[in-house]
Structure 1
């Protein structure tokens, strides 16, 4: 084990969704041969009476004791996935802030799709949304009810490629995941994206399909000899709809945290937001801006 590698970081709050994230993160750490760090946020800022009066130490001690129990249980779950280098940490901050800060030195942050304090009707938890938008590294949001089933190992990794500048980075992450999981990779380009600026030339459907095939051929050509099967798919459809549908038969969907139509200040692309709320499997968001 090379413990000098950047760790995978995951958060635990005692919820079932967080335990799913620990299981997924534990397996990912084993596949990558990297350490795993499990963080429990104590959320002391929420206890400030009137925003200024700190809580009594007895209350803090109780929260620490609960947090240590959560961490011990999470560590046992992680080690059961074959992860050998597991560390745990209590953080006094709020969950999202603690994980975003940890992302500065992490290889990957893994979060559950919801958690304690989730508002009724909120499909992707506020922590998952905040970390997906603000983390300094790639983020995985563990979604779906069947990702842990044994037969899921035979499902492909699906990558959404839109032709934007970060497409090569997204593809590289997807290839690495497919290789680690010893499964095939399906690279999808949906050519009927959002309306194009008037300055861009309009392509008829046949030309758009040919352009998409050329794009995927150029991007994937160098990877096909790398020991995995790569399937290229060009469709006339909206990316979010296509990727959501394919997530039902995938073990992981990989895409960029911002899309081709992104603009300065856009924290998470519309396709990423849609997948965080509706995907049937874990979603891997590749950090595309530094």
Structure 2
């Protein structure tokens, strides 16, 4: 049955919001969102849009039979997503609500993100066919959402082996990555795993001269230590492994992600600026990384 949008109040905290569209990867997103909600002791709200996502203008109208079919199909989608979520987290204390809306998906999710603790989407929808293709809705919410956005690929990393792997966070030596570092510590603490903090201090493809590598490495060590110092004190239960490489951030994080369960990055890095939507590194990682990836930006 369709529920109304939950409102965040003192007694009703912000939910983890999962967007589904009937694709297999969106059901993976619902499963991951359920696990995340359980870790955070938050409700899970599953949302789908029954509107045609074809870009037709407002002049297009549908008959009553067509609208009823769209609604029934959307109810089927959220019902299946709830079943998947319950199977992934058979916790009777997990509150799950579902909703069918009739608005275009991207603006709907961006609006709803203002009242969500985290928005979880699949990397591509029913219209995507190329492996690694990032869907237009996923890209839009990663750029414009008002809360952290988790993008789930085919691998939701919910198996027992993945659950023991570390959380990986990209650190760029600027304040832009501070929200990502904070969330990564929190995720590692809740999952009771190690945190890997990776700082790639060179954007050049060529090998650095020895003196440049030494100077860059020393600077990177200082920047990384400063970036994690305060959070390490707040999360003493989280073991931290530091990795410093003289390489491009995207390639370094993709390589390290092969041994992680979750990647956390800021919405833009050292080349970004206030108000920037999504940095080149974050955007590239959403295409290249195959495990769940959270893009974090300030709510402001």
Match of 1:64 among 64, 67, 71: 71
Contact 1:144-1:279 at 8 Å conserved across structures: no
Q: 1:275 to 1:144 in 2, by over 3 A?
A: farther
2:128 is matched with 118
Offset at residue 264 of structure 1 (A)? 6.1
Contact 2:176-2:270 at 8 Å conserved across structures: no
1:198 is matched with none
Q: 1:288 to 1:47 in 2, by over 3 A?
A: closer
RMSD: 2.1
Q: Return the alpha-carbon distance in structure 2 between the equivalents of residues 104 and 269 of structure 1.
A: 21
Offset at residue 267 of structure 1 (A)? 2.3
Q: Return the alpha-carbon distance in structure 2 between the equivalents of residues 66 and 6 of structure 1.
A: 27
Q: Return the alpha-carbon distance in structure 2 between the equivalents of residues 75 and 174 of structure 1.
A: 27
Contact 2:167-2:260 at 8 Å conserved across structures: yes
Offset at residue 265 of structure 1 (A)? 6.5
| SS, match of residue 97 in structure 2 | strand
Contact 2:15-2:43 at 8 Å conserved across structures: yes
Contact 1:193-1:238 at 8 Å conserved across structures: yes
Unpaired runs of at least 5, structure 2: 1-9, 206-210
Offset at residue 208 of structure 1 (A)? 1.2
Match of 2:12 among 4, 11, 36: 4
* Superimposed CA distance per residue, residues 77-103 of structure 1 (whole angstroms, 9 cap, x where no aligned partner): 222313621111111112212211110
2:7 is matched with none
Contact 2:119-2:148 at 8 Å conserved across structures: yes
Match of 1:228 among 220, 233, 238: 238
| SS, match of residue 230 in structure 2 | coil
Match of 2:61 among 47, 51, 54: 54
* Superimposed CA distance per residue, residues 31-89 of structure 1 (whole angstroms, 9 cap, x where no aligned partner): 000111100111247485x6413211221111000111111111122223136211111
Contact 1:256-1:288 at 8 Å conserved across structures: no
Give yes or no for the alignment of 1:129 onto 2:129: no
Contact 1:47-1:55 at 8 Å conserved across structures: no
Q: 1:54 to 1:47 in 2, by over 3 A?
A: farther
Match of 1:261 among 271, 275, 287: 271
Unpaired runs of at least 5, structure 1: 196-202
1:183 is matched with 193
Give yes or no for the alignment of 1:153 onto 2:163: yes
Q: Return the alpha-carbon distance in structure 1 between the equivalents of residues 11 and 136 of structure 2.
A: 31
1:200 is matched with none
Q: 1:45 to 1:142 in 2, by over 3 A?
A: closer
Give yes or no for the alignment of 1:284 onto 2:294: yes
Which stretch of the first structure deviates more once superposed, 133-142 or 70-79?
70-79
Q: Return the alpha-carbon distance in structure 1 between the equivalents of residues 217 and 113 of structure 2.
A: 38
1:164 is matched with 174
Q: Return the alpha-carbon distance in structure 2 between the equivalents of residues 96 and 51 of structure 1.
A: 17
**Count of residue pairs the alignment pairs up:** 281
Q: 1:144 to 1:15 in 2, by over 3 A?
A: closer
Q: 1:45 to 1:171 in 2, by over 3 A?
A: closer
Contact 1:220-1:230 at 8 Å conserved across structures: no
Match of 1:78 among 75, 81, 85: 85
Q: 1:47 to 1:148 in 2, by over 3 A?
A: same
Contact 2:42-2:94 at 8 Å conserved across structures: no
| SS, match of residue 89 in structure 1 | strand
**What TM-score results when the alignment is normalised by the length of structure 2?**
0.87
Q: Return the alpha-carbon distance in structure 2 between the equivalents of residues 74 and 95 of structure 1.
A: 17
